[in-house]
Each structure stands twice: as C-alpha cells, then as structure tokens.
Amino acid sequence: MVDAITEFVVGKIGNYLIEEASMFMAVKEDLEELKTELTCIHGYLKDVEAREREDEVSKEWSKLVLDFAYDVEDVLDTYHLKLEERSQRRGLRRLTNKIGRKMDAYSVVDDIKILKRRILDITRKRETYGIGGLKEPQGGGNTSSLRVRQLRRARSVDQEEVVVGLEDDAKILLEKLLDYEEKNRFIISIFGMGGLGKTALARKLYNSRDVKERFEYRAWTYVSQEYKTGDILMRIIRSLGMTSGEELEKIRKFADEELEVYLHGLLEGKKYLVVVDDIWEREAWESLKRALPCNHEGSRVIITTRIKAVAEGVDGRFYAHKLRFLTFEESWELFEQRAFRNIQRKDEDLLKTGKEMVQKCRGLPLCIVVLAGLLSRKTPSEWNDVCNSLWRRLKDDSIHVAPIVFDLSFKELRHESKLCFLYLSIFPEDYEIDLEKLIRLLVAEGFIQGDEEMMMEDVARYYIEELIDRSLLEAVRRERGKVMSCRIHDLLRDVAIKKSKELNFVNVYNDHVSQHSSTTCRREVVHHQFKRYPSEKCKNKRMRSFLNFGELEFLVGFDVETLKLLRVLDLGRLRFPLKINGDLIHLRYLGIDGYSFSDRAAIISKLRFLQTLEAYSEYPIEETIDLRKLTSLRHVIGQFVGELLIGDAANLQTLRFISSDSWNKLKPELLINLRDLEIYQDYEKRRVSVSWASLTKLRSLRVLKLDNLRLESEEAVRSTDVISPSLESVTLVGMTFEEDPMPVLQKMPRLEDLILEGCFYPGGKMSISEQGFGRLRKLQIFIYILDELQIEEEAMPNLIELKITSNK
C-alpha cells in the first residue's frame, strides 16, 4: 500500500519541478536526487508488498518510507506556501521579500539536506536487512494467495454445490448450456465481486445431472492472477481423463504451443464443456481459445471473473451474466445451513445475535460462509463474544479468505486507482456517492493527472469505472449510459478504512469513535456531530483535507487559518464564523452550506487557486460573488441568484446555476471547456432574455438546463442548431415556444435526454419526423395546451423512457 503514496509523492516532486521551476530553482538538483532515490525505493516497496505476508522488519522499513514520503510532501508544500505568501505582500512588507526569500531558500535547503540523510539511512537499512529485491519466481512467496488457491482446489469439483440465492441464475445459465439450437462453441461469462458465488454457481452447473448427460467430455481449470499457460492447459488435459499417466509425463515437457495443439486434437469433433475459473485478464483467454476447437458440436465454455471487461472481452458468441448480492432471507438460509450443525436448540437470543452478524455481511456469500464456519465450532454462550470481535478478526487476517479476496483485486490496481479506492473511506456507511462530486474531490486532492488529450475529470472517471468494473464499487444510478452514483459495500469500505488507517491517509471520526488517534493524519472526516470532534485535531497543521458529513450545527468557530496546507475543505452543514486571510494557496475545493459563515463573498474571492466551489443549500446566495481572480476554477455549483462575476475561466467545466442577468454579462468565448450549464431566472424578478448567440460559442457543452427564461423564437431556432453538436442532455423548464421546437431539437446528433417541463406551446401539435432523435434514450414532455404529438415510424430508434403529460 505504501507504494501508492510514494508514487504519488514522486509525481508531486516532478510537478513542482516542472510547474514551479522558478520557485524551486535553488534546490532543483537536490529535488531531482530525492526523486531518483524515492523512485528506486518505490521499486523495492513493490517487491515487499507483492508478498502477502510481510515480516516485521519489512513492515517497519515500509513505515519509515511512508513517514519520509509524507515529510517530503510537507517540506515542498510549506516552501511553496511561503513563497506565495511573500509574493502577495504589499507596501513596506514587500521590501523585505528579497531577504525573506533567501531565508526561505536556506531553510528549505537545510530541510532537504536532512531528507537526503534520511533517505540514505533508509537505503542502508534496506541493504543491511535484505529487504525487497528478492528474485522470487512468478507466483512464489505469496503465502496467503497460495492458500486461497489451495482452498479453491481442495474441494472436489464433482461435488454437487448447494447454492443459496442463485437458483434463478442457475436456471438461466442451464438453459444457455443446454440450448440444442446453438451448435457453435458458446461462451458463458459469470462475473461479479469476489465472494458472490461465481465459482459455486459454475460448479453447480458443472455437476448438474443434465450437464453430465449432455457433455461427455468435461474439464475444469483455474487461472488466478498469476498463471502459466502450460499449467492451465495441463490441468484441462488431466481433467478430461482421456490421457494415460505415461502420456501425461511425456507431454509435460511440451512447450505451450505444443500443448495447445495436443489439447485441440483431443477435443476436435467432440462435444465438450470446459470451465475456466477466476480469469483476471483477457490475455489468459487468448492463450486458451486456440486450444478449444470452434466446432459445430454444441460445445460450451464457462468463464468466471471479477472483471466485466474480461467477461465481455471474449470473442465469438457469448453471454455475460452478472451476479447480485443475496437478500437477507437468502443470506440467513445460507448461514443456517452451516452455523447450526452442532447446535440442537436455537433460542431467541441466539437467533437475534446470528441475524445481527448476518445483516453485517450485506448479502456477500463468502463472508456469510466464513462467519458460519467459525460459529459452528462455538457454543451458544460464546456467540455474543464472537459478535463483538468476529468482524474485526474477519478483516484482520485471523481468517484468511475474506481479506485475500479483496487483496487480490486491490494489489494489482495502479497507484491512482488505489488512492481512489482508499478515498472511498471518507463516505459514511451505505452512502450513495455522487460520482461527479467524488471526481471533483479526487482532482482537488491532486491524485489525478491529466494530459493534453484527457481532462483530469475524465481520467478520474476512468479510474472509478475501473473500480466498478472490478466489482470493488457498485454502480447505483446511470444516466445516458454513464454512472451517476455509486456505493461501496460495507465489507470493502471497512477494508478501505483499515488500510487508510495504516497509511495515516484518512481518519474517520464517527460520533464517539475515531478510527485512530493520530494527530498528524492527512485527512479528517466527521460523520456525525462535529462538536464531539477532538479539538486538538483541528490544529493538525499537516492536514490536507477536512470533510463533514454530519448534521446541522452552529459553532463558535473553527480556526481554518492555521491549516495552511489544506486542499479540500468541505464543511457540509456546519455554520460558524470563519476567518480566511487569503493564504490558503493550496485550497482546491470549498464545499459550504448556503449559510455556512458570514462574509462568505469576501472570503471566497481571496481563494485564488480554488478549483471547485460547491455551495449546496436550499437557500439561494443573494449577494454578489466575485470569482474574477479565481482563474483555476473548474466547477462552480450553487444557487447564485445574486450577481456572479467570472473572469478568465478557460478551465471552467461546470456552472450551475447562474442567473440570466449574470450570464449575459459573461464572455462565453472564454468558457471553452464548459460542459454543464444551468441558467436560472428568478420567478420573482423581471424575466430577462438570454443572448442565445452566447450559447453558440460553447462548443464543449454537454448538459444544458434553462429555467424560466424568455426566448425569442426565431433566434432560438437558428442558434440551437449551432450549439447542438456536443449536447447530450437538454432540459427546458417554464419556457414558451411560439413554434414547434421538435424540428430543431431532433437534429442534435448526440442528444440522449430531452425534458420539456412546464412549458407552453399554443400551436397544439408537435411532430417528430422519421430518423429524428437518432440517439435519444429519454423523452419527458409536460406541456400546457399540447393537443397532439405526432411520431413517425423509425423515429427515436434508441428510446427507452417516454413520458408525455399535457395540461389544458
């Protein structure tokens, strides 16, 4: 895990050397040397962490590296802060800048010299104790991973599996296996999060009486994360039972290509079933498919994987089947089958305790059976004790199955994806996570690097969708084919919190319980009452982030000024006097309630490097907010009824929502990256027409919402066609159309969602022509005085949701 932090810090050093070259000129060579050393150490860390069980010496060494990496980050951020503070001085204080800069330079040189001595000491310790760099064979030394594979193989695959909660899945897949009309080789991919029962379901199908009767030649093999193609092929050959012992010894010496030819020859002209369990990457299937004949005998291949891209990445004819979590009733049935084997009498207290623990498993079959297996060896009087300690023991490797199911997925993630997963520990249990907000937070934290081809937000979405694809994160809501909200399973959230604690990465304060007592943790999160949050933690000068998910509270104060290295400040519903003198130069994200603090306009205007301003509240912000000096802004979200002043905002991607008055004063030609725009007209004020000419310059716009605006129809019709190329979603609320808007709207090539809400159209009839709305998936119309909507054949070929309401 430490490797994710070191790689992040190495990247940060590189960014400072490139983006702030003039500031760090005096220490450029020293920084480059530190970067090189830390990069080398990062390589050894990966060797250490590749082994599931680290010895105590390696753990202590990794801890030294972690502390060192954090200290490097602190030195760089603090030096950057001092130089920025001096550059903002005015008057007589500015005369002292030259002397001050020299003092700062001497100070940082001394700090870096100390860091260089420390890193040399860390390197010597590694050499002295022989840490890392072991030339272990692929797959060797991974004790826990090996144990999981042994547990998988220990059970006979010929044993009929008792599968709870998967009866409907088994029925669907059995029909696919036995489909007599499908003569070609057909592949069934079963995918889902580790522990859902993919292997159990495949085994049930494999051992089904109907399957045994249908397929004379059956074979079972496993792949896992570390594999050799030759071993996989040999397991299939042995499993088929068609080769003598002498022949097996002979072909064991074959090269991979020779084994492929041999197996292909065995199966040619035969109806076979091969189960390939636990594939982690497409390359593994590419190695196997050449050995499995594409005959016309009705052969089948079953693949199990955690990764959606692997499940859907096979070529030829296939069916991908995603497994779900068990309901509580199914979970309890599975638990009962195993936990009460040695208990004759089940009283109410015992059942209550058992159900409380099963509920915690949240329908994950692997956790349920591990839990049941432990309790089956306990007396009823011991169940309460187990209830309090089992969950921690389950996660802390006293039982090896559940943690390793996660670790096999986590360890192969790139460092950015690891940081994204660990960051999920900030959210409360069962919290539905707004994906766009998560992306904004990850970007603000500095975890994401963009390039000329991809914005940071797009890169962040890629990493999050990778977690979803690997079933480490669950997609909850989708719009226009994109995940809009997600949820992390409790089991995985607990693991993320545990690992974050080990890395001093996030501290979650949950009412009376803090996950750990460190006063130097980088990120502090409050889930309930802030007033119970320890006051000493508010003075942690190393804090990079503070996030509050708690309830509404009115406080005397919160001294943010001392937290000068803050990058994320999400106050939630906290309301208190706040003082910021403009020196939070690292702050990238500010989340506030509409009434979080007084004098908010003056404070916000000083945050020159802010990327995201999120003022979520049911109360509108009526005062003038001046953002003209905030040239790094990427997202501005809030009910800005008052004037909103925006200057050079080439990075701005989200603007919602802004009053029509404020919009008409902007220079839209500067908003070249704006993707999401909502313009609002206060119902209590005079209606102001928006200049549609301004919208024609927004070539990157994807989502547009116009609320209660007045349009001049002829100009609107002409201009809408111009702004349409990139639009994916259009929502028009309370607007009056003098002409049928459909002829123009239906020409938008990428439009997927169209909502006309509370609009007026006196014309009576609207028409959607043939081939109109080629990509439209959702159409919702609520229009006053609409008599008829005519839809021609072959219009809206991709439509999924249609809702039409008219009020005369």
Degrees, nearest 5: CA angle 659-661-666: 95
Tell me how far apart the alpha carbons of residues 154 and 164 are, in angstroms, rounded to a whole number.
21
254 with 286, same domain?
yes
Number of H helices, E strands in the chain: 28, 29
pLDDT digits (tens, 9 = 90+) for 527-553: 866 666 656 666 788 889 999 887 666
d(C-alpha 777, C-alpha 766), whole Å? 19
666 and 748 part of one domain: yes
- pLDDT tens-digit series, residues 226-249: 677 888 898 899 889 888 877 887
Rounded mean pLDDT, 371-396: 68
User: CA 727 to CA 123: how far, in whole Å?
Assistant: 54
Whether 708 has a pLDDT exceeding 90, the answer reads no
Position 408 scores a pLDDT of 45
Q: Are residues 657 and 785 located together in one domain of the fold?
A: yes
535 in any annotated domain: no
> Is residue 102 located within the same domain as residue 174?
no
Q: Is residue 82 part of a domain?
A: yes
Pick the range with the lowest mean pLDDT from 296-300, 398-402, 436-440, 674-678: 398-402
pLDDT score for 724: 65
Which has the minimum average pLDDT: 305-314, 358-367, 368-377?
368-377
**Inside any domain, residue 367:** yes
CA 680/CA 733 separation, integer angstroms: 10
Which of the four pLDDT bands, split at 50, 70 and 90, describes residue 194?
A: confident
Indicate the number of domains in the chain: 4
Mode of pairing for the β-strands spanning 317-322 and 778-784: unpaired
Residues 742 and 658 grouped into a single domain: yes
**Is residue 586 a contact partner of residue 564, using CB atoms and an 8 Å limit?**
yes
Residue 769, in any domain of the structure: yes
Most confident of 121-135, 552-566, 661-675: 661-675
Give the pLDDT confidence of 725-739 residue by residue, as tens digits.
889 999 999 888 888
Name every residue whose Cβ is closer than 8 Å to that of residue 552 and which is 6 or more positions away in sequence: 573, 575, 593
- Quote the pLDDT of residue 426: 93
Instruction: Give the residue with greater pLDDT, 617 vs 211.
Output: 211
- Dmax over CA atoms of the chain, in Å, equals 94
What local confidence, expressed as pLDDT, does residue 102 receive?
57
Cβ contact 449:533 at 8 Å: no
Q: Identify which of 392-396, 517-521, 757-761 has the greatest average pLDDT.
A: 757-761
Residue 300 pLDDT level (bands cut at 50, 70, 90): very high
Together in a domain, 318 and 358: no
Q: Among 492, 523, 541, which residue terminates a domain?
A: 492
- Residues 250 and 355 placed together within one structural domain of the fold: no
Residue ending a domain, among 461, 476, 492, is 492
- Could you tell me if residue 94 is inside a domain? yes
- The reported pLDDT for the residue numbered 446 is 92
Angstrom CA distances, 587 to 489, 518, 520, 540, 630, stand at 30, 22, 18, 16, 12
> Could you give the C-alpha distances from 555 to 212, 528, 542, 593, in angstroms and in order?
70, 14, 23, 14
Give the helix, strand, coil percentages of the chain, each rounded to 5: 45, 20, 40
Res 423: pLDDT:
95
The token pair at 740 is 């049928």
Query: If we measure between CA atoms, which residue out of 104, 99, 3, 111 comes closest to residue 51?
Result: 3
Question: Which of residues 256, 288, 322 is at a domain's end?
Answer: 322
Residues in the chain: 808
Residues 573, 593 contacting (CB under 8 angstroms) = yes
**pLDDT given at position 113:** 83
- Residue 579 maps to a domain: no
Percent of the chain residues past pLDDT 90, beyond the cut: 23
Q: How far apart are CA 596 and CA 619, in angstroms?
A: 11
Structural domain contains residue 544 = no
pLDDT of amino acid 16? 79
Q: How far apart are CA 277 and CA 304, in angstroms?
A: 5
Residue 307 and residue 349 in one domain: no
Q: Does any domain span residue 260?
A: yes
Q: Residue 213 belongs to a domain with what CATH number?
A: 3.40.50.300
Residue whose C-alpha is closest to residue 438's, from 540, 547, 560:
547
Q: Is the pLDDT of residue 775 over 70?
A: yes
Based on the fold, state whether residues 416 and 316 are members of the same structural domain: no
Confidence tier at 222 by pLDDT (50, 70, 90): confident
Radius of gyration of the chain (CA): 31
| pLDDT tens sequence across 557-613 | 566 777 888 999 998 877 766 666 657 889 999 998 755 566 778 888 888 899 999
Q: What is the rounded CA–CA span in Å between residue 326 and residue 197?
A: 10
CATH code assigned at 745? 3.80.10
Residue 302 shares a structural domain with residue 198: yes
| pLDDT score for 142 | 39
Residues spanned by the domain of 45: 1-129
pLDDT tops 60 at residue 752: yes
Residue 628 has pLDDT above 80, yes or no: yes
Query: Structure tokens of 3?
Result: 């490797």
For the cut 50, the answer to whether the pLDDT of residue 43 exceeds it is yes
- Do 26 and 122 reside in the same domain of the chain? yes
Amino acid in position 92: L
Task: Look over the chain and give the mean of its residue pLDDT values, rounded to a whole number.
Answer: 80
In terms of domains, do 309 and 369 share one?
no
> What is the SS3 assignment for 572?
coil
Cα dist. 476→198, 487, 490, 776 in Å?
A: 21, 7, 15, 22
Portion of the chain with pLDDT greater than 70, in percent: 78
Query: 33-47, 180-194, 406-420 — which is least confidently predicted?
Result: 406-420
Q: Give pLDDT, residue 88.
A: 63
Quickly state the pLDDT bin for 470 (edges 50, 70, 90).
Answer: low
* Residue-level pLDDT at 696: 76
